[in-house]
Amino acid sequence: MREHSIYAKNRDHVKIHSRWVCGLCGHKIKKNDLTVDHIVPLSRGGTHDLENLRLVHAKCNIIKGNLLDSEFPIHKRCYFLWLNFLTIFLP
Ligand SMILES: [Zn+2]
């Protein structure tokens, strides 16, 4: 199977079996605000394997960029919480 179709298949699996909680900030994800994140980024040697994929908010994924979870500065984690606070309480 080609790389891309493996990714498409596993991405769909993650969406179906996810608890719809963002893997980065821990808040609920709406269908119109999701992306599938590579936990270890492809640019860092990550794969399309199921174990390396998870649902995250689109905005959280942008902030994460090509970092590993362990490389997140704490202020970025707080930023996630703040973004979600805004999402929940503003129209
Ligand atoms: Zn998030």
- Compute, in angstroms, the gap from residue 70 CA to the centroid of ligand 1: 16
The Å distance, Cα 5 to ligand 1 centre, comes to 26
Angle at 82 between CA 37 and CA 91, to 5 degrees: 95
Ion ligand 1: residue ranges with CB closer than 5 A: 22, 24-25, 57, 60
* Per-residue pLDDT tens over the stretch 27-69: 889 888 899 999 999 999 999 999 999 999 898 898 888 989 8
Q: With contact defined as beta carbons under 8 Å apart, do 62 and 20 qualify?
A: no
Distance 46 CA to ligand 1 centre (A): 20
Q: Is pLDDT of 12 > 70? A: yes
This prediction's pTM: 0.78
Is 3-89 CATH 1.10.3470? no
